[in-house]
Amino acid sequence: MIKSLSYKDMKGYSLLVLKSFVILFLLILAAAFFALPSFLPSHPRNVNRGKQAEGKQYTSSINKAQQAYYAENGKFVTENSPEGWERLAVGIKTQTINYKYSISAIGKDGVNTFADASQINKALKSYTGVVGLISDPTNPGEKIGWAIICETKNAGDVPLPGEVTATKVKCPDNSYLISEFDFFATPNLTSSNSNSNSNPSEFEPNPPDLNSNPSPVQGTPCWSKYSPEQARHRWRGRAPVGHIEIVNDSDQLVRVILFHPDSNGGLLATWDINPGRSTVLAINNQRITIGADWGIRVASSCIMPVGDAGQYSQGRYKVMSSFLFNY
């Protein structure tokens, strides 16, 4: 038969259970006491991560600025000088309280960006951005652009130059890859019939006349410079005229880039449009309207009007090429 526990036995068992819970609670409390500071914003590890976010973000911004500059000029900015940074138009200080930023050439087909914290804060990691041209694996006769961001393996290390070979863009030996993406490397050429007095930062979709020109062919000039006076009639004499809408009929993500001569370096804003979707371009929730001095570009692709000339004047466009970059 099962022996019933006496009151004394029950009391002893209860005290044992209570002691176990108290010990467990104290252990959890002690673990929380030692672990909690590492989750606080003021913890050195988290403070350093926040500072390193600057280095990553600025390196990414400079990489993108190099891509945009190459798209317009067919070359990278490689001069680490006030004039070079002005052409790059990235809008950041070359030295902050955390990092010193510089650029340098990699042969004739690439450029480095350095976010160097080694001489400012030894507790921070540094970054190397590499943008270069490599052979297109799907079309060996052509080149594509490739951009990467590399983080030093150890805090306090000096960021070293990256490498651009015929087939790949590589991080330096003391760093590891944290980000990479490709971009269309063929610069936007200007049509031979463009007006010589045109502002080079002004663009429009080509062709303007649906009845006289076929759809543009990938790899041929997609954009032509124009003078506002000559272009004004194409917008039916009004500025602005309607909202700008882009329709992505391709099967890949599309990045739309909007230019205006009064913006920084001509680049005003960008939007990503998913396959099969469309978007009305807006900045700060304000829809953008078309004026004679505005222009649109889709990265690595031509755009054409949707429908008839009436829709064209109202600013509805679609992506015609499926050769687009993934971002």
Domain ranges of the chain: 44-182, 228-326
Contact between residue 151 and residue 60 where contact means Cβ atoms under 8 Å apart: no
Report the Cα 27 to chain-centroid distance in Å: 47
Tokens encoding 243: 């909202």
179 Cβ contact list (under 8 Å, min separation 6): 56, 60, 148, 149
Tokens 């004499």 identify what position?
A: 237
219 Cβ contact list (under 8 Å, min separation 6): 186
Confidence of residue 325 (pLDDT cuts 50, 70, 90): very low
For residue 198, give the amino acid letter: S
What long-range pairs does 35-43 form, CB within 8 A, spacing at least 24? none
From residue 116, alpha-carbon distances to 50, 151, 174, 177, 206 in Å are: 15, 10, 13, 16, 43
**Looking at residue 220, what is its pLDDT?**
31
The matching CATH number, chosen from 2.60.40, 3.90.320, 1.10.10, 1.10.3470, for 228-326 is 2.60.40
Mean pLDDT value across the chain: 65
- Count of alpha carbons within 13 Å of 323, Cβ hemisphere only? 15
* 291 C-beta neighbours (distance < 10 Å), count: 16
CA-based nearest residue to 325, from 32, 71, 77: 71
Pairwise CA distance, residues 194 & 226, whole Å: 6
For residue 262, give the amino acid letter: D
pLDDT higher than 60, residue 208: no
Pairwise CA distance, residues 298 & 257, whole Å: 6
Region of 77 (left: φ > 0; alpha: ψ -120 to 50; beta: rest) is: beta
- Ranked by mean pLDDT, the top range of 90-99, 132-141, 184-193 is 90-99
- Ranked by mean pLDDT, the top range of 121-130, 192-201, 291-300 is 121-130
**Looking at residue 145, what is its pLDDT?**
82
pLDDT higher than 80, residue 102: yes
For residue 144, give the amino acid letter: I
More confident residue, 50 or 256: 50
Region of 242 (left: φ > 0; alpha: ψ -120 to 50; beta: rest) is: left
Pairwise CA distance, residues 52 & 47, whole Å: 9
Residues 303, 307, 309, 311, CA torsion sign: negative
Contact between residue 279 and residue 271 where contact means Cβ atoms under 8 Å apart: yes
Pairwise CA distance, residues 245 & 122, whole Å: 49
- Please give the average per-residue pLDDT across 294-312, as a whole number: 39
